[in-house]
Structure 1
């Protein structure tokens, strides 16, 4: 593999690991919302329909990231999440009607 191929493969892998749709659709609610709690988002819940986009917007709706790394990655992921959210739309519509929104801070409120 060339250095360029390795760099592209690494960037795609990094983007997919942070992909909002993968985090919210393929993982359980606690794992998905744990990521947002780590970043201290101001969002209280996210809808399941277009949850990847909501996940990314909630990552942007957090205290500033002074490293300057998070915002460009989230902006790139917004496009990918929009496409992926549209593909899984029938599933997420069903999930939304059956389960409602994903609460981000539900564990802290119960305690």
Structure 2
């Protein structure tokens, strides 16, 4: 027996309508959004900036420690060579990506 998707369609239409209404509101009243950003979001901006600077310091250190643990586990024959290479390349790429984005987006 074929199921009907009437409820799912109704919910989807309500969500689409709500998103469209909010978008039109913010397009029509950009001053309200700017006022909220200037006064209310300064504390959140400072928290996120400090979080970003701390992550920029922690990620390379964590990548180095993970590579050291991988090397020890490979030397102790706990993991195979292919597993070691996959994890090592992934950790190197993740640490490098963090440093490259830090270089590009730091004034």
Normalising by structure 2, report the TM-score: 0.28
Higher RCO, 1 vs 2 (CA within 8 Å, ≥6 residues apart)? 1
Normalising by structure 1, report the TM-score: 0.27
> Would you tell me which structure has more helix in proportion to its own residues?
2
